[in-house]
Amino acid sequence: MGKRLTLAVLLLPLFLLLSGFTLIGHRGDPLNYPEETYQSFDSAFNNGADYVELDVHESADGVVVIQHDSTIQRMTGANLAIATTNFAQLQQYHTKNGEPIHSLEDLFIHEQQTNHKFLIETKIVKGEPHPHLEDKIAALIQKYHMENRVMFHSFSAASLKRLQAVLPNVPRILIVGSLKRINFDVLTYVDGINLSSDLVTPQLVTQLHDLGKKVYIWDEMNENRSLWTWLVNLNIDGIVTNYTALGHEFQALKAAAVTTDINDLGANSSTTPLPIYENPYQPTLRHEQLAPETPVMISSMITIAGNTYYQIGDNAFVPATTVNLAPQAGWASLFINQNAVVTGKKFRVPVYADPLHQQDVIAHIANHTRHHITAARYEGNHLYVKIKTGWLNAQDLQLLPDAENMTTWMSQYRSIPAAQKPLVHWALGDTAFDTPLLNASVVGIG
């Protein structure tokens, strides 16, 4: 696909909530084997690729030839133009691993006993004859029953339009390096757009999806973990890459995650700043932090490997443990930096590692002991508060409000729905809580 390689990103919003993305090996595995050879293709599939991308030209005698360049010189050393050379002559030359130049028919025959899938790029070069190329590709696909095992992409809108006529059910994606190439006319005969990575934004992805089109991205293909950290945060179905092993690692992580749309305000209901990660899949810290009780817009929730994160911006995720959504964030803030006395029904109450996983009991706290609250988290209708030892269920406590403006505090407390309102013991000073009888008696206010 030219000097710059293709990163394909296909998206259906509902599918994204349930699955990871499709991984496509660009020209196979060109970092380790000669590109667009069987060995290169097999290596990409062995590294986890779901599809392999390849390019096709037409030889002088009308054979559909697999090769990226217009000549075979870079791959074989022979300075022969594909369009002006018969295929029998082209096939006499071999790549460094000993394989001859392949035709598309050769490949389909070779792959009849596999379930391998391919993304085919039609190479339409100015001044290079390609009579009926799309018809010939379609005939081969139908002959070898590959209709459900191929997709197309191309820089040539005309080629994709011809492919629509002969194979309307095979996906077609237009590769663009400028947004000017995207218009309503072209959208009528393509299923997706393949964008340069310096053009794509989450908003543009959303806009194209709203039009019912899949979104692709292409980059220089020198990906490192930093680039994948950015890519995996996009709403991607698939990526075409030279780095199939690295891509498969991120693919598995994203496939294991469950994403839920939120689109609501929230806040860090804690006395401690929260770390901000670039993504939740292989968390890389950003320099910023989410300060205590800071309101923020939350777009989605991602759960992976038992951990839950909220997305608060592009490439910005925070642990969800101390984050409450509105209006619970306002209620939770009333109990931060307050004190509480344990008043469980038994002699001791459980301490949890995390309010999102109440099955993880890490300790027990004796009744009638007093503790300082550093964070609060609603999970459903239940409030959990954090003390030095861990998290307690507020139903096992009496909250001891010590707000500077008690009138205002009590007004806000009374606004909490009854089902989500923790019990409060209000007394003057500390002496009342030194009396076991009073400590054991739960007093509800409001």
Q: Are residues 53 and 72 in the same domain?
A: yes
- Of 272, 306, 322, the one marking the end of a domain is 322
Q: Are residues 172 and 230 in the same domain?
A: yes
- Pick the residue with more confidence: 178 or 56? 56
Q: Are residues 196 and 243 in the same domain?
A: yes
Taking 60 as the threshold, does the pLDDT of residue 340 lie above it? yes
Q: What is the pTM of this model?
A: 0.79
Taking 50 as the threshold, does the pLDDT of residue 433 lie above it? no
- Of 322, 350, 378, the one marking the end of a domain is 322
Q: Are residues 118 and 195 in the same domain?
A: yes
Percent of the chain whose predicted confidence (pLDDT) is above 90: 62
Taking 50 as the threshold, does the pLDDT of residue 346 lie above it? yes
- Pick the residue with more confidence: 314 or 324? 324
Flag whether 442 is in a domain: no
Flag whether 431 is in a domain: no
- Pick the residue with more confidence: 289 or 206? 289
Query: Where is mean pLDDT largest: 28-42, 389-403, 430-444?
Result: 28-42
- Of 223, 253, 283, the one marking the end of a domain is 253
**Is residue 286 within 8 Å of residue 311, measured between CB atoms?**
no
Q: Are residues 340 and 317 in the same domain?
A: no
For the chain, the average pLDDT equals: 87
Pairing of strands 51-58, 22-26: parallel
Write out pLDDT tens, residues 136-172: 999 999 999 999 999 999 999 999 999 999 999 999 9
Which region among 121-130, 334-343, 351-360, 427-436 has the lowest average model confidence (pLDDT)? 427-436
- Domain at 217, CATH number: 3.20.20.190
Flag whether 215 is in a domain: yes
Write out pLDDT tens, residues 269-288: 999 999 999 999 888 899 99
Q: How many domains does the chain have?
A: 3
Q: Are residues 80 and 212 in the same domain?
A: yes
Locate 174 and state its tokens.
């237009």
Flag whether 9 is in a domain: no
pLDDT at residue 329, as a whole number: 95
Taking 60 as the threshold, does the pLDDT of residue 431 lie above it? no
Q: Are residues 306 and 392 in the same domain?
A: no
pLDDT band, very low/low/confident/very high, at 305 (cuts 50, 70, 90): confident
Taking 50 as the threshold, does the pLDDT of residue 235 lie above it? yes
pLDDT band, very low/low/confident/very high, at 220 (cuts 50, 70, 90): low
- The pLDDT of 414-434, averaged and rounded, is 67
Flag whether 434 is in a domain: no
Q: Are residues 346 and 414 in the same domain?
A: yes
Write out pLDDT tens, residues 117-129: 999 999 998 888 7
Write out pLDDT tens, residues 19-56: 468 888 999 999 999 999 999 999 999 999 999 999 99
Flag whether 382 is in a domain: yes
Locate 245 and state its tokens.
């092993």
Which region among 57-61, 374-378, 380-384, 398-402 has the lowest average model confidence (pLDDT)? 398-402
Determine the structural domain holding residue 55 and report its residue range: 19-253
Report the distance separating Cα 68 and Cα 100, nearest Å.
14
Q: Are residues 339 and 370 in the same domain?
A: yes
Flag whether 176 is in a domain: yes
Q: Are residues 309 and 333 in the same domain?
A: no
Q: Are residues 129 and 164 in the same domain?
A: yes
Report the distance separating Cα 239 and Cα 255, nearest Å.
14
Which region among 111-120, 206-215, 354-363, 426-435 has the lowest average model confidence (pLDDT)? 426-435
Taking 60 as the threshold, does the pLDDT of residue 207 lie above it? yes
Q: Are residues 316 and 242 in the same domain?
A: no
pLDDT at residue 444, as a whole number: 35
pLDDT band, very low/low/confident/very high, at 196 (cuts 50, 70, 90): confident
pLDDT at residue 426, as a whole number: 57
pLDDT at residue 432, as a whole number: 39
Flag whether 155 is in a domain: yes
Report the distance separating Cα 138 and Cα 144, nearest Å.
10
Locate 442 and state its tokens.
């739960």
Three-class HEC string of the chain: CCCCEEECCCCCHHHHHHCCCEEEEECCCCCCCCCCCHHHHHHHHHCCCCEEEEEEEECCCCCEEECCCCECHHHHCCCCEHHHCCHHHHCCCECCCCCECCEHHHHHHHCCCCCCEEEEEECCCCCCCCCCHHHHHHHHHHHCCCHHHEEEEECCHHHHHHHHHHCCCCCEEEEECCHHHCCHHHHCCCCEEEEECCCCCHHHHHHHHHCCCEEEEEECCCCCHHHHHHHCCCCCCEEEECCHHHHHHHHHHHHCCEEEEEEEEEEECECCCEEEECCCCCCCEEEEEECCCCEEEEEEEEEECCEEEEEEECCEEEECCCEEECCHHHHHHCCCCCEEEECCCCCEEEEECCCCCCCCEEEEEECCCEEECCEEEEECCEEEEECCCCEEEHHHEEEECCCCCHHHHHHHHHCCCHHHCCCECCCCCCHHHHCHHHHHCCCCCC
